[in-house]
Amino acid sequence: MDTTPQPTDEEVFERFLDGDLDAYRTLIERYHDDLIRFLTRLVGDRVAADDIFQETFLQVHQSAHTFDTSRRFRPWLFTVAANKGRDWLRKRNRQRAVDLSAPIGGPDGTTSFVDLLEVDVPRPGEAMDAGERDAQVQQALQRLQPALREVLLLAYFQRLSYQQIADDLGIPLGTVKSRMHSAVAAFARAWQTVTRNGSTDE
């Protein structure tokens, strides 16, 4: 059994900078699922997410030599993807710290934002119920302003601190905290509206 440690993203990216196209394909394969989930949640359209995914890696290819290789690759990649997603939303004319695990409602009052996003990949035998809930999550997310949805999803998918999000998006720390507070509150209201008006929640 091969116990050789897998190279880090940064090591793979360095190989790509040296002209190794297989390294570029490795990065695409590593991030395909996570990035597609993130983009689908951000723009609310799976087909568009596929297109934006391709645009993101095209931008990575074109901007590779501008990336500071002393930094982590993942936050940079997701920031590029978020920018591409924001551009797509703009073209379509669509429109205080808070713990993402804080309760936002549900039958027992304990359902959290993180709980809802976790059902994005249902277990066998749960496809129907999970699919219905997943659609409700997306409906609730689409009710948020793009800037709020972006911060919420970046925090969830990247597990970054507020300071890191501020650095990546180029906005003040206070703005990140304010947007996060507003985003979680807005999502909670939207989720309650969607589940009240739609199918009965679990």
Report helix, strand or coil for 78. Answer: helix
DSSP 198: S
Q: How confident is the model at residue 202 (pLDDT cuts 50, 70, 90)?
A: very low
Distance CA(194)–CA(135), nearest Å, equals 10
The CATH number of 9-91, from 3.40.50.1000, 1.20.120.1770, 3.60.15.10, 1.10.1740.10, is 1.10.1740.10
Give the mean pLDDT of the chain.
Answer: 81
pLDDT at residue 124 greater than cutoff 60: no
**Which helix (H) or strand (E) element contains residue 178?**
helix 173-197
Among residues of the chain, what percentage have pLDDT more than 70? 77
Q: What is the pLDDT of residues 20-31, one digit of tens each?
A: 989 999 999 999
Sign of CA dihedral 131, 136, 142, 145: negative
pTM: 0.64
Closest alpha carbon to 131 in 33, 53, 190, 202: 202
Query: What is the topology classification, in CATH, of domain 103-197?
Result: Arc Repressor Mutant, subunit A (1.10.10)
